[in-house]
Every structure is written in structure tokens, then in C-alpha cells.
Structure 1
Amino acid sequence: MKKFIRVISLLVLFFLNAFIDLSAQNKAKEINHQSQSWFSINTKTDIYKKWSVLADVHVRRNHFLADPNFYFVRAALAYNINPHLYVAAGYGHMWVAPAIAGWKTYSNENRIYQQLQYSSSIGKINLLQRLRNEQRWQQKMVNDKFSGQNRFTDRIRYLLSATIPVFKNKHLPSLVIADELNIQFGKEVVYNTFDQNRYFIGIKQNINHRLSFDMGYMKVYQQKYSGYQYDSNDTFRLFFYYNGSWCKK
């Protein structure tokens, strides 16, 4: 069964990547290169038997640290089917900094989401797979003001992450390689069914049995709604992870 799931996950990743070139336009491709930094705290807290609460906070900056990109908070209720598999549903809110020079008003994005997460191993390599579905309502901004209209999209995300020990000493960092593909659908999604791809390589370090972090380089390649404009972001990423429990033993 585990081998079957691994094969299916690789096939899904292969076929999803086929969407990237489906929206090609006649206009010449325009790529905006920029540097970013991305920080977050991600928590999972057991609250009762098989139930847990997920919560995370994110800050992303442009020009490495100089300018804001977005602020994001998210929370969900999760049900642990077994120690390796859980399902969750929740809500997130994003404040997006204006990308147009001279604008000062942040736009808002509301989203609800559902996800399935599965962890497994191949030898000493730990694998994490996550399938997430998001319904997003993004404010449309005109002349630095909210237009009163929202853009709705349904986005599907598939993450495959591998943690690879490189030292015999368990207190030393492990290597992390991950890729997450995002595709989206909706009435206004005409030219960019492919939304973005996020590739990450870095290290994971355990601080104690509940707290860890990963740090490294992330490449974010995102297609804009025009279909021929892209953002290529070279990103420094630092994510913290905390696993807690309110359950009495």
C-alpha cells in the first residue's frame, strides 16, 4: 500500500507540472526577478484524543528585508486518522502589500481550506505529502482603493518533502528537499491555470522534541493573471515548527 501511494504521488506531481505550459501566450514572456525573505511559525497542538488545532503565522518581505510583501495568519481543526495521516479544515487571512509604486493600501484575501497530510519513510528518509484545496476571495484594487469586487479562485496545492539525515549524530541538521505545485481554477482564471511552483532546499534542525526549524533557499516561480508575466523570487526561508499537547497522559 505504501509503495502504491508513493507511485501515485510521483505521477500526480508529473501530470500537474504539465499544466505549466498550457497557458502560453503569443506575447513575449516578461519575468520580474526579485529577492525575498519568508518567516513563519507553524504549530500543531493536540487538544482531545484524535483532535488537534493547527495555527501558523507568516511574514514575507521583498528586496530581502526592505519592503513588505504580505502578512498571513491561518488556523484549522484537524482529525488524526492515525499517527501518519490527518485531515484538516480551516480559515486564513492575508494582508497583501501593494505592488504598484506609490500605492499604500493593503488588499485583503480571505480563504477557507481543506487538507490531507501523510507522512511515511523510505529507509532513513522521511517523506511528507500534503494535498490542500483552497477557496480564495481576493480584493480587487483600483487606484489604491478597494473596488468593492472580489476575485474568486479555487486553488489545489500538492507538496512533496523529503528529510534526509546526513550525519549519524541525530543532534546535527538534516537535509530537506521539497517542491510544492499550485494550480488554480475559476471564472477569471483564463491564462494561468498554473499558479506557482515552490522549490526548497535547506536544513532541518531539532531544537528539542517539540520545536524544530528549517532554513534555506526557496525558488518561487509564479505566473500572473495576464499569462505572460511571471515573478521569479529568490527567497531566504526560515520556518519554525512546534508540536504541542493539551491532553493529559
Structure 2
Amino acid sequence: MKNVSNFFVLLFPILVFGQAVAKKEVNQQVQTWVSLNTVTKFAEHWGVVADVHIRENGFFESDNFYLLRGGVSYMPNSAVSLIGGYAHMWLAPTKEGWFVYSNENRIYQQVQLSSKIGKVTVLQRLRNEQRWQQIMINDAPSGILRFTDRVRYLASFTIPVFNNKKLPSLVLSDEILIQFGKDIVYNTFDQNRLFIGIKQNISPKLSYDFGYMNVYQEKINGYQYDMNHTIRLFFYLNSDVKHNPSKSPEHS
């Protein structure tokens, strides 16, 4: 009898794990994500950042979300930046027959570090977001807000492929997002974003990256997941409006 009991003690975790795996549901879908990300310096160590993002289901077949984000950046040197700011998201309904977008307000803090390993540029970003998400009931705001604190870590590698700097480089990146709060019970892991693509300069101030992003996101119930196969096109604009008497206006 003791051996039988020991057998079931050993078997129980396997049975539970097996049930969890069997219950797991993954929804596969295709999305398109386009954004413009800007940094404008107005002083030697200070600047403002502003982003606009549009993510669509399919190839611009239906809305997924719109996001505007802004902030103030402090750059003690060329490798480090500290940012604090605000973002707002309009999230399209996912239930059939619903039409009203839910709103999400965010306050965020971010530290970013750029370094090099040989010829490879390494970008690391740690962002903390406090999010207030509007709960919708029967296609209308319920008056209830869901608060979460989300921590995000990104590691991105830009790898030169050609000696000619005008030609594109290879980009590999991964970002993991985890969240906390009293409403977070089953999905502390929020999502993971894996990207592979190219990055290319259009001008000294404007560049873009383009490629495939896999977004794997866990839903609030803990057993349903979205696997988003995403076509991503991000533009990056860096400008400088600070006054520098040693330069002519066209080069400022």
C-alpha cells in the first residue's frame, strides 16, 4: 500500500501538468503594426520623446489598437537615457457585435542603455508601466478600472551584414513583459515579443526597421493565449532643436 501511495504522489504532478497542457488554447492570428518613434533634443542632456502606433488585424483589415505616447528624456551621455511620461491606448473590441473602444491610461518610467560588442550594437531597455484599463460590459464602459503594474525588458541586437553602411543591418530582439496587481491571478506573464528583421537608415536622422514579430500573449484566464504573427514597420526620427552658435541653421 505504501508503494502504491508513493506512486500516486509521484504521478499527481504529472497528471495536473498534463491537464493544464491539454486545457491550453492558442489562437493564431496575423497582424500589421506600424509606428513612428521620435526623439527631439532641446538641450545638451534633455529631450522629448513621442510615439504613435497603429496595430491592425490582418493586413489593415480591422482595428486592434491605437497608441500615443510621450515623455521627457534625460541623457547624461550618448549611451544612457532616462525617460518618464504618459501614454494612452484605444483598444478595439474583440467580441463580435461590439463597437465601442476601451481606453487605457499609462504612466511609465524607462531606462535605456546602448553599447557595442565588436561591431554589434546592443540596446537594452527596462520600462515600468502603471496602467489603468477601462472594463467594458455589454459594449459600454462599466465605470470600473483595472490597475496593473507591468515591467518590460527588451534586448535588441543590430548586426552589420554589409561593409556599406547605407545597406540594411540584421536586427534580432526579444522583449518579455510581466505584470502585477490584485487583479493579476493567472497571468503574471503577460507576453513575449520576438522580432527578426532589417534596419536601414533613410537619412542621418531617419531610419526604419521592418520584419516579423511573434507576439505570444497570455489572457486573463490563464489558459488562453494569442499567437500573433505580426508584420512590423517602425520608423525612428531623431532631431535636434537646441541652439548651437557654432553651427549654421541648416545643420542645427
> Fold-level match, TM-score > 0.5?
yes
Residue identity opposite 2:158 in structure 1 = T
Give the corresponding residue for 1:116: 111
**Unaligned regions of 5+ residues in structure 1, if any?**
1-23
Task: Say whether 1:217 aligns with 2:212.
Answer: yes
Give the corresponding residue for 1:139: 134
Task: Report matched runs for 1:1-249 at 5 Å.
Answer: 25=20, 28-249=23-244
SS of match in other structure, 1:48: coil
Structure whose alpha-carbon radius of gyration is higher: 2
CA contact (8 A) 1:64 1:235 kept: no
In the alignment of these two chains, the number of paired residues is 227
SS of match in other structure, 2:229: strand
CA contact (8 A) 1:56 1:74 kept: yes
Deviation digits for residues 67-124 of structure 1 (CA, Å, limit 9, x no counterpart): 0000000000010021100101000000000000000000000000000000000000
SS of match in other structure, 1:93: strand
Note closer, same or farther for the CA distance 1:109–1:27 as it changes in structure 2 (3 Å cut). Answer: farther
How far apart, CA to CA, are the structure 2 residues paired with 1:194 and 1:27?
19
Superposition deviation, residue 199 in structure 1: 0.2
CA contact (8 A) 1:70 1:97 kept: yes
Note closer, same or farther for the CA distance 1:25–1:146 as it changes in structure 2 (3 Å cut). Answer: farther
Superposition deviation, residue 64 in structure 1: 2.5
Give the corresponding residue for 1:15: none
How far apart, CA to CA, are the structure 2 residues paired with 1:52 and 1:29?
45
How far apart, CA to CA, are the structure 2 residues paired with 1:91 and 1:171?
35
**Unaligned regions of 5+ residues in structure 2, if any?**
1-18, 245-252
CA contact (8 A) 1:133 1:156 kept: yes
Residue identity opposite 1:146 in structure 2 = P
Deviation digits for residues 122-142 of structure 1 (CA, Å, limit 9, x no counterpart): 000000000000000000000
Note closer, same or farther for the CA distance 1:206–1:226 as it changes in structure 2 (3 Å cut). Answer: same
Give the corresponding residue for 1:10: none
Deviation digits for residues 147-171 of structure 1 (CA, Å, limit 9, x no counterpart): 0001000000000000000001111
RCO higher in structure (CA 8 A, sep ≥6)? 1
Q: Which runs of 4+ in 1 moved over 2 A?
A: 24-27
Deviation digits for residues 156-210 of structure 1 (CA, Å, limit 9, x no counterpart): 0000000000001111000000000000000000000000000000000101110
Superposition deviation, residue 212 in structure 1: 0.1
How far apart, CA to CA, are the structure 2 residues paired with 1:185 and 1:164?
34
Residue identity opposite 2:148 in structure 1 = T
State, as a whole percentage, how many aligned pairs show the same letter. 60
